[in-house]
Amino acid sequence: METIIIIVFIAGYLAITLEHSLKIDKLVPALIMMSISWALISFGVDEFNSWFDSSKHTLLTNFDTLLHNDKMHLVEESLLHHLGKTAEILVFLLGAMTIVEIIAYFNGFSTIKKFIRTKKKTKLLWIFCWLAFILSAIIDNLTATIVLISLLQKLVKERQIRLWFAGLIIIAANAGGAFSPIGDVTTTMLWIADKVTTPYLFGYLLLPSLVCMLVPTYLASRLSVFKGDLDVYGSDDSASGRFSSTMLYLGLSAIIFVPFFKMVTHLPPYVGMMLSLGIVAIFAEICSSSKFSLEGLDNKKHTSPIHHSLTKIELPSILFFLGILMAVAALESLGILFGFADWLKVSTPHIGTEMAGTAVSDLVVILLGVGSAVIDNVPLVAASLGMFSEASDNILWHFIAYSAGTGGSMLVIGSAAGVVAMGMEKINFFWYLKKISWLAFTGFVCGALVFLFTRTLF
Cα of first residue to Cα of last residue in the chain, in angstroms, is 47
Closest alpha carbon to 376 in 28, 120, 13: 13
pLDDT of residue 137: 86
Q: What is the pTM of this model?
A: 0.72
Evaluate the CA torsion angle 430, 434, 440, 446 in order and state its sign. positive
CA 209/CA 177 separation, integer angstroms:
8
Residue type, 420: V
Most distant CA pair in the chain, distance: 74
Q: Which residues sit opposite 186 in a β-bridge?
A: none
Q: What is the pLDDT of residues 1-11, one digit of tens each?
A: 888 988 998 89
- 180: Cβ contacts below 8 Å, ≥ 6 apart: 136, 137, 138, 187, 201
Rounded to the nearest angstrom, the gap between the alpha carbon of residue 253 and the centroid of all alpha carbons in its chain is 20
- Euclidean distance between CA atoms 274 and 254, whole angstroms: 10
Compute CA 254 distance to the chain's CA centroid, rounded to the nearest angstrom.
19
pLDDT in tens, the chain (458 residues): 888 988 998 898 888 777 767 778 878 988 999 999 999 998 888 888 778 776 666 777 777 788 888 888 888 888 998 898 888 878 887 887 788 788 878 877 777 766 677 778 898 999 999 999 998 887 778 878 887 887 888 788 788 888 999 999 999 999 999 888 778 877 877 876 678 888 888 888 999 999 999 999 999 999 988 888 776 655 444 444 678 888 888 988 888 787 788 778 888 878 988 999 999 999 988 888 765 554 554 444 557 888 888 887 778 878 887 888 788 888 888 877 666 666 665 665 544 444 434 444 577 788 888 887 876 676 667 667 656 667 788 888 888 889 988 998 998 878 878 878 887 888 888 899 999 999 999 999 999 999 988 877 76
d(CA 397, CA 358): 9
Q: Which residues contact 382 (CB under 8 A, 6 or more apart)?
A: 54, 57, 189, 332, 337
Per-residue three-class SS string for the chain: CHHHHHHHHHHHHHHHHCHHHHCCCCHHHHHHHHHHHHHHHHHCHHHCCCEEECCCCEEECCHHHCCHHHHHHHHHHHHHHHHHHHHHHHHHHHHHHHHHHHHHHCCCHHHHHHHCCCCEHHHHHHHHHHHHHHHHHHHCHHHHHHHHHHHHHHHECCHHHHHHHHHHHHHHHHHHHHCCCCCCHHHHHHHHCCCCCHHHHHHHHHHHHHHHHHHHHHHHHCCHHHCCECCECCCCCCHHHHHHHHHHHHHHHHHHHHHHHHHHHCCCHHHHHHHHHHHHHHHHHHHHHHHHHHHCCCHHHCCCHHHHHHHHCCHHHHHHHHHHHHHHHHHHHCCHHHHHHHHHHHHCCCCCCHHHCCCCCHHHHHHHHHHHHHCCHHHHHHHHHHHCCCCCCCHHHHHHHHHHHHHHHHCCCCCHHHHHHHHHHCCCHHHHHHHCHHHHHHHHHHHHHHHHHHHHHC
Identify the pLDDT of residue 443. 95
Please give the C-alpha separations between residue 56 and each of 73, 81, 401, in angstroms, as whole numbers: 16, 11, 20
Cα–Cα distance between 340 and 247 in angstroms, integer?
A: 47
The Cα 192–Cα 201 span in angstroms is 13
